Amino acid sequence: MHAITIPEPGGPEALVWDEVPDPVPGEGEVLVEVVASAVNRADILQRQGNYAPPPGGSAYPGLECSGRIAALGPGVSGWAVGDEVCALLAGGGYAEKVAVPSGQLLPVPEGVDLRQAAALPEVVCTVWSNVFMVAHLRPAETLLVHGGSSGIGTMAIQLAKAMGARVAVTAGTKEKLDYCAELGADILINYREQDFVEEIQRATDGAGADVILDNMGAKYLDRNVRALATSGRLAIIGLQGGSKGELNIGALLAKRAAISATSLRARPLGEKAAIVAAVREHVWPLIADGHVRPVVDREVPLSEAAAAQRVVEESGHIGKVLLVAS
């Protein structure tokens, strides 16, 4: 088969379309013939040499895919050769075939085309696990999503609105904020021109955000704590603004607030399977009834993954950039 390999870390040109051995599905795994994958910001960190695959994981990038099951490994039940699926991966999605633990498979949701289903697993599992399973966002609460037009952000807006929450977003341009509004965002904040702490307080009569989904880490830590409501929950999922910050514990304590930080890729198989099962139960019906949909900016051939990563690195996209294998 062919896959995108990274012989040496570097810029987008470090991605090489190469001939490599087919993966062999192990115990509890299936072999998926990939129809599409999608770019995640973590793939760029991996290409730069800053995010190694977890031990035992595929060396190729790619945290999600859609495709058809081509073979079953030992001990797999409930799935059959030919099934159309999408899957959460620890790596290996930028390839024509990938071995996937069966607990990380999802059927293609009703009403979604097989290629576009590749845009779903990573963002849906990340948003559901952080915003709902960890931060317990409730109806009528306010969620602040940083990077509202990102792959993660476009899914967070839709899921939070579908669950009856009020949604505030930050983004860097008016065009991106307008798109977030089309998806249902109620409060639009241009992070280049406005102070999100002031804006969120103004929009909530001084109460603040009940939950914040944060991609910035250190750079926003202090401001995020100030933007939180009493009993607020800050869920950190990205470190685009650095990993070492100073925390005013007094401010956190006074608000009886909580901070969580999680990475999906490195979680044990059982935890990933539990998240995937929760997503199938709670999110798949929202997609089938049209409340939530994949947001795809563009489709790029998998062999041209370098061009696709350039777009994401320069934030030239809204939602997801798909990599189409066949």
Ligand X SMILES: NC(=O)c1ccc[n+]([C@@H]2O[C@H](COP(=O)([O-])OP(=O)(O)OC[C@H]3O[C@@H](n4cnc5c(N)ncnc54)[C@H](OP(=O)(O)O)[C@@H]3O)[C@@H](O)[C@H]2O)c1
Query: Is residue 179 near ligand X by the rule CB under 6 A?
Result: no
What residue number has its CB nearest to ligand X? 238
Q: Is 88 in the site for ligand X (CB under 6 A)?
A: no
Residue 262 interacts with ligand X (CB under 6 A): yes or no: yes
Rg (CA), the chain: 19
Residue 323 interacting with ligand X (CB under 6 A): no
Q: Does 201 bind ligand X (CB under 6 A)?
A: no
Q: By CB under 6 A, which span of 29-37, 82-90, 234-242, 288-296 interacts with ligand X?
A: 234-242
Q: Is 23 helix (H, G, I), strand (E, B) or coil?
A: coil
For 104, left (φ over 0), alpha (ψ -120 to 50), or beta? alpha
- Cα 117 to chain centroid distance, Å, stands at 13
Position 273 contacts ligand X (CB under 6 A) = no
- 105-164 binders of ligand X (CB under 6 A): 122, 126, 146-147, 149-153
Question: Which residue, 91 or 151, is less far from ligand X as judged by CB?
Answer: 151
Angle (CA) 70 72 73, round 5°: 135
One residue of 37, 58, 158, 170 binding ligand X per CB under 6 A: 170
Residues in 209-228 that interact with ligand X by CB under 6 A: 215-216
> Angle formed by the axes of helices 174-183 and 151-162, to 10°?
30
Phi-psi region of 168 (alpha: psi -120 to 50; beta: other; left: phi over 0): beta
Separation CA 166–CA 128 (nearest Å): 16
Residue ranges in contact with ligand X by CB under 6 A: 40-42, 122, 126, 146-147, 149-153, 170-173, 176, 191, 215-216, 237-238, 240, 262-264, 312, 315
